[in-house]
Amino acid sequence: MSDTATEPTIIAAREGAAGTLLMNRPKALNALDLAMIREFQKAIDAWGPETAVKLVILEGAGGRAFCAGGDVRRIREYAIAGDEASVESFFAEEYAVNRGIATFPKPWVSLIDGVCMGGGIGLSVHRTPRIVTEKALLAMPETAIALFPDVGTSYILPRLPGAVGTWLALTGARLKGADAVHAGLADHYVPSDKLAALRAALVETGDAGVIARFAETPPEASFAAHRAAIDRCFGLDTMPAILAALAAEKTDWAAEQITVLRRMSPTSLCASLELIRRGAKATLDQCLEMELALGRNVVHRHPDFREGVRSVLVDKGAVPTWMPATIEEVDPAAIGRMFD
């Protein structure tokens, strides 16, 4: 459903040497619905073999967001209605697009100038070049709604430097544009006021090499002072061990991480950590299949997902009631069964 009755939610066009894709749900921060996912698939299928298209440029409309993620409120509605087929279709088709981007035979240029979370990262992270500005804000905030990092990020996150990917997966930490470059989720830092000129150069030349003319050295990462602690604590393999290591740090930053983690769904945290550890040893295709299987169990067979979306997105700011209520109560065997 678009923001107006007349405008398409994906505007696909041929401009010069480029195929251009504009996500066009600005009031919804360009959140992905199934119709948009299907338009992405059409573009991938059409432009991959078309020799006149030298690259693809992906943007978000409205000035506030690239893409805030998948339309999880709709997914929750499907789950409440017991509509497993619609949930399955959404995730299966979204993950097929992620795979299609990863294997796209040409540059896939993501111009991230605003919020980019969840499904938005899935549209940008699998193919380069990935451009961020000072207005970019990237995150994988799924544990707050009792989901897990998906859209192929179970492959990407464990391959980021040190334990940065695990930290991002569990805490949903927000990265500014410069942070995203240092973390490995973006390739180039371009000031927002240069994006229009960069886009014009890409359209004219069809050469991603022109990005070098516009890119600047990003500022130091905001998390640079905590990198060693991130690796020490988030490199561990169980949630209780991570919490104990954070407590042992005895710093304000570590205490903040504990506070954040204690707000998240305990089941989601444990499942996400297991997913990241398994993803480190898997291919992208295997990760996408694993995410699809985990999603079936999380969305349909565990109460936390509906509760998480309700508390964060429906009754905004409500305190969720998780089951079980604490990390210490989570049964590791039950987590293992969620992957079956």
Residues assigned a catalytic role: 70, 119, 142, 150
Terminal C-alpha separation, the chain: 34
Written in H, E and C, the secondary structure of 152-217 is CHHHHHHHCCCCHHHHHHHHCCCEEHHHHHHHCCCCEECCHHHHHHHHHHHHHHCCHHHHHHCCEC
Q: Give the C-alpha separation, 107 to 47, whole Å.
A: 11
Give the separation between CA 88 and CA 86, rounded to whole angstroms.
5
- Compute the 3-state secondary structure of the chain and give helix, strand, coil in percent, each to the nearest 5: 55, 10, 35
- Give the tokens for residue 28: 């919804």
Residues 36 and 23: beta-carbon distance below 8 Å: yes
Q: Do the Cβ atoms of 337 and 293 come closer than 8 Å?
A: no
Under DSSP, the state recorded for 70 is B
